[in-house]
């Protein structure tokens, strides 16, 4: 009986791999090679996503909050970014230094960045129990990606994340700005100056 879950897992993996292989063969057979998108033909959103994926790694830095919250001001955070799903998603995890690594009891928000057609989207899995989605736009210089609120799933009784900005400084430094909308539509802004740990 213990082998049934293993057999099911192996079967599902084989089916998804076969389906993916057939999709690639099917796509290649129907599309002339000239119509396949080359790196030079990527949309601005796809280029932004590729740029954000260069942030993969571990980061740390202090947070500054406006309006000020003395308990948070200057606190250091660890942020991890990881490319996953064959390069189709970027996982962003945040953890306050000095707090136990227990996501069930302490803040440990997770954000997914991904392409949806020609749109760069972000879904934030918030500790407030909701999931806001935002759409990203790149700045003309290509160094800043700003995410504007689209919609939210779940309760907003305790507020929700409303805006995010990623600014690339250099290979070892970037900034993140997050705006949380408190109940009553009162914004709280958090700014992170981050340095690469690895």
**Tell me: the pLDDT tens digits for 67-90?**
998 888 889 999 999 999 999 999
Q: Mean pLDDT throughout 156-174?
A: 96
Q: Note whether 127 and 112 are within 8 A (CB).
A: no
Superfamily of domain 40-196 in CATH is Calycin beta-barrel core domain (2.40.128.20)
**pLDDT confidence of residue 91:** 97
Cis status, amide bond into 67, omega within 30 of 0: yes
Question: 11-68 pLDDT, tens per residue?
Answer: 333 333 333 344 444 444 444 444 445 556 889 999 999 999 999 999 999 999 999 9
**pLDDT confidence of residue 106:** 59
Q: Which residues does 98 contact at the CB level (< 8 Å), separation at least 6?
A: 75, 76
> In the predicted model, is pLDDT for residue 145 greater than 50?
yes
**pLDDT confidence of residue 127:** 87
Give the pLDDT band (50/70/90) at residue 102: low
Full DSSP string of 111-166: EEEEEETTEEEEEEE-TTS-EEEEEEEE-TTSSEEEEEEEEEES--TT-EEEEEEE
> In the predicted model, is pLDDT for residue 119 greater than 90?
yes
Q: Mean pLDDT throughout 83-100?
A: 90
Residue 110 backbone phi and psi in degrees, to 5: -125, 135
């Amino acid at each position: 009986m213990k082998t049934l879950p293993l057999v099911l897992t192996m079967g599902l993996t084989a089916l998804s791999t076969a389906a993916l292989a057939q999709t690639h063969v099917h796509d290649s057979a129907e599309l002339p090679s000239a119509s396949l998108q080359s790196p030079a033909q990527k949309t601005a959103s796809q280029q932004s996503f590729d740029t954000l994926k260069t942030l993969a790694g571990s980061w740390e830095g202090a947070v500054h909050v406006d309006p000020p919250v003395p308990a948070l001001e200057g606190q250091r955070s660890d942020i991890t970014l990881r490319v996953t799903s064959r390069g189709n998603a970027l996982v962003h995890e945040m953890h306050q230094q000095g707090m136990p690594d227990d996501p069930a009891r302490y803040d440990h928000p997770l954000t997914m960045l991904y392409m949806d057609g020609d749109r760069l989207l972000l879904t934030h899995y918030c500790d407030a129990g909701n999931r806001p989605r935002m759409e990203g736009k790149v700045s003309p210089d290509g160094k800043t990606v700003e995410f504007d609120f689209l919609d939210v799933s779940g309760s907003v009784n305790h507020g929700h994340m409303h805006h995010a900005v990623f600014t690339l400084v250099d290979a070892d430094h970037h900034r993140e700005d997050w705006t949380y909308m408190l109940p009553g539509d009162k914004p709280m802004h958090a700014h992170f100056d981050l340095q690469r740990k690895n």
